[in-house]
Amino acid sequence: MSSQDNETIIELKGVSKRYGFGDAESYALRNFDLTVKRGEFIMIMGPSGCGKTTLLNIIGLLDQASSGEYYLAGKNVARVSAGKKARFRAKEIGFIFQNFNLVPTLSILENVSLPLIYSGCRKSRRLRMADNILEHFHLREREYYMPYQLSGGQQQRVAIARSLIADPSIILADEPTGNLDSRNSHIIMEELQEIHSQGNTIIMVTHNPALTTYATRVINMLDGEIDTDIKTVDDSELPRGGKNEKVSVKVLPSRDPIQMEITSESDVVVSGENVTTEEAPEEKAEEKETKKPAVKKSSSKKSTKKKSTSKKKGAKK
């Protein structure tokens, strides 16, 4: 461990989460210890009901531990007021959910700008930032669409854009690929990989062992306890930067998600610069097909979009 190590950002000491009382008492987490350094990409795996989501909720300040101590950026969370926790969620934590969790009544642009409302951003600035980040995710031409008008993969990319917009230091992803096919899963994972390479801390819950190749650390959980904890990348090699170095997402080189086709796991280039892989011709054709209506619609205005897209079939919820 050299002095070059990134600082500790999350520290759980003997955290337990108990549900019910007496005979019905059960533990979602039992004496859980975890230390996360800035820049780690942690995958949490384990069977259903082993407390993965509970862990994520506690880390994300949505839930409170029944006992134990949780230090977030050196502060004991137990002493922080609810309002401060909310502010911390707005500015420092980005959530990505399995079922995307976009607000169905708001447009993509407004959905992405949602966290900025609560960190005190003016509307024009809010929407400009959302527009910028959506451009990076190649969703700019759909920013006035409603969530139900997008495919699952697109929705999840919107959700990732939303989690990133306030430039958080921690990103918590609860099975972000759980509702997606393998192709979209890899697109999402590529996005997360790139975010991580900028020095962001990511904690992700997954059931898919194939995805663990992206991680710098894999934790297996069993019955609310850590079963195995494997670091695949040494602490000193963790990416730097992120929030503190002011590397914002909008200066990243744009990539076309179509080109981000991954033929095998070993092909993944961690650096994030221009992932070049061979393109499967039939998939390119498919992508074009889905893109067609978008081009047509993007020229029309907000109101007409709503009408025309009711036919659109790919609306997943």
Partner 1 sequence: MRFLLNTHFHLAVDSLRQNRTRTFLSALGIAIGVASIVLILSLTGGINQLISASSNKDNANLILVRPSNGKEVTDSIIDELTNTSQYSKSNLTIEDIAAIKEVDQVKSVAPIAISSSAITIAGKAYQSTTIVATNNDLQDILSLRLKSGQFLDYSLRKNVAVLGYNVAEQIFGTTEATTRTFTYNDQQFMVVGVLDKLEDPINFNGVDFDNSILINIDFASTFESSIQIQQIDIRTETTDVVPDAINAINEKLSKAKKGDQDYKIISGTDNLHPAGSLLSIVSYMLTLVASISLVVGGVGIMNIMLVSVSERTREIGIRKAVGASASHVLLQFLFESIILSVIGGLMGFILGYIFAFLISLVTPFAPHISWQILGTTGLVSLSVGVLFGIYPALKAANKDPITSLKFYR
d(CA 15, CA 278): 47
- CA 191, 197, 202, 204 dihedral sign is positive
> Among residues 88 and 144, whose Cβ is nearest to partner 1?
88
> Among residues 80 and 269, whose Cβ is nearest to partner 1?
80
d(CA 304, CA 168): 35
Positions in the binding site for partner 1 (CB under 8 A): 57, 60, 62-63, 82-83, 85-91, 93, 95, 97, 101-106, 114-115, 117-120, 122-123, 162, 166
d(CA 142, CA 127): 14
Minimum CB distance to partner 1, residue 173 (Å): 12
Minimum CB distance to partner 1, residue 62 (Å): 5
* Beta-carbon count within 10 A of 260 CB: 20
> Among residues 70 and 214, whose Cβ is nearest to partner 1?
70
Q: SS3 of 184, please?
A: helix
Minimum CB distance to partner 1, residue 182 (Å): 26
Minimum CB distance to partner 1, residue 81 (Å): 9
> Among residues 165 and 215, whose Cβ is nearest to partner 1?
165
DSSP class per residue in 75-138: EEGGGS-HHHHHHHHHHHEEEE-TT----TTS-HHHHHHHHHHHTT--HHHHHHHHHHHHHHTT
> Among residues 88 and 214, whose Cβ is nearest to partner 1?
88
Query: The tokens of 106 are what?
Result: 């708001």
> Among residues 68 and 115, whose Cβ is nearest to partner 1?
115
> Among residues 10 and 112, whose Cβ is nearest to partner 1?
112
Phi and psi angles of residue 292, each rounded to the nearest 5 degrees, phi first: -50, -60
Nearest to 222 by CA among 41, 64, 32, 19: 32
| β pairing state of 170-174 and 201-205 | parallel
Minimum CB distance to partner 1, residue 35 (Å): 24
d(CA 17, CA 31): 9
Minimum CB distance to partner 1, residue 176 (Å): 14
Minimum CB distance to partner 1, residue 242 (Å): 19
